[in-house]
Amino acid sequence: MTTKEDLLLKLKTIITPYVQNQEGLENLNEGTDFIKDLEINSANLVDVVLDVEDEFDIEIDNEAMEKMLTVKASIEVIEGKLAAK
Amino acid sequence: MIGNDIVDLQLASIQSNWQRRGWLQKIFTQLEQKEIYNSSSPDLQVWKFWSMKEAAYKAHQRCFYHAPTFNPNKIECVSATSVCIEKYVYELTTEFTKQYVYSIARSTGAYYYSKIFQAEINPREELKKLILSSIRKKDRLYFKKDSNGIPNLYIDGRCSKIPFSLTHHGDYSAYVMLS
């Protein structure tokens, strides 16, 4: 069973290469918004989703992807997909 | 309504590997993918479609005050000059050079004024100057984003409701405003 802390840590590792605002990364928390707070380029959101799929061996459909704009929403999506495995 | 999006092609080639497995499928509809693969310049076609979708998304979001979502597959480039989102069709104008691709999306028939800038110039300040010249007052102008992240221009503390859009990527930026 992966804990929420583990998830957050793994997610942080995934998003780090795409972050353009390092300050946002240092203050990373559940409320962090990928675009607003981390200035991740919107084309790179796809890379985040693909990296999450690879890391957790899950498939993220468009409906789930649509929500993945914040740390909180992403963790919820990952937890949901892991539970359904 | 109005939206715009610019892609710095050199930066895009560094930031994104569109040939990565699954990348195209997550962003583009089957029709768009087919067109990309059949294009004589798939690389350029990827960014053309991308900027068209982004511009249309911005126009649509400003129109309906939607909270941000990320589902580019729901936004379809149905021709070189039109994009469809949830049954709404936006008219598109796309121009490109070796350096950038720039798209403007607008409600059908709307007129606009747009300008592209390089590097250091801040399109927000340029847009401010343009608006100040037309209202001829020394009003205080500032930008403020709403809760959905959509910027609005405030004149003397009041939201102006002027429909505009700003875009910036790498060395290029632009504004567009409905005229």
Continuous segment of H or E residues that includes residue A83:
helix A71-83
Assess whether pLDDT exceeds 80 at residue B54.
yes
**pLDDT > 90 fraction of chain B, expressed in percent and rounded:** 81
Q: What local confidence, expressed as pLDDT, does residue B65 receive?
A: 87
Asked if residue A46 has pLDDT above 60, the reply is yes
Q: Give me the mean pLDDT over the B11-38 stretch.
A: 97
Contacts of A43 in chain B (CB under 8 A): 12, 15-16, 50
The answer to whether the CB atoms of A43 and B12 lie below 8 A apart is yes
Q: What interhelical angle do A71-83 and A42-56 show, nearest 10?
A: 30
Residues of B in Cβ contact (< 8 Å) with A48: none
Q: Which two tokens stand for residue B109?
A: 């028939």
Question: Does the distance separating the beta carbons of B16 and A42 come in below 8 Å?
Answer: no
Q: What is the pLDDT of residue B137?
A: 67
Please give the model's pTM, rounded to 2 decimal places.
0.93
- Are B56 and B105 spatial neighbours (Cβ–Cβ below 8 Å)? yes
Q: Which among B16, B23, B70 has the least Cβ separation from residue A69?
A: B70
ipTM of the prediction? 0.91
Choice among B51-60, B104-113, B150-159 with the minimum mean pLDDT: B150-159
Q: Which of B20, B68, B70 sits opposite A50 (nearest CB)?
A: B20
Tell me the backbone φ, ψ of residue B97, rounded to 5 degrees.
-125, -170
Confidence of residue B136 (pLDDT cuts 50, 70, 90): low
Residue B67 vs residue A19, higher pLDDT: A19
A74, HSE (Cβ side, Cα atoms, 13 Å)? 28
How are strands ordered across the β-sheet holding B141-145?
A: B141-145, B151-155, B158-159
Amino acid B143: pLDDT: 92
Chain A residues whose CB is inside 8 A of the B50 CB are: 43
Residue range B118-140: mean pLDDT, rounded? 85
Q: What is the pLDDT of residues B72-125, one digit of tens each?
A: 999 999 999 999 999 999 999 999 999 999 999 999 999 999 999 998 899 999
- In chain B, residues with a C-beta closer than 8 Å to the C-beta of A44 are 15-16
pLDDT band at B157 (very low <50, low <70, confident <90, very high): confident
CB of B70 within 8 Å of a chain A CB? The answer is yes
Compute the average pLDDT of residues B13-38: 97
Q: Of B73 and B137, which is predicted with more confidence? A: B73
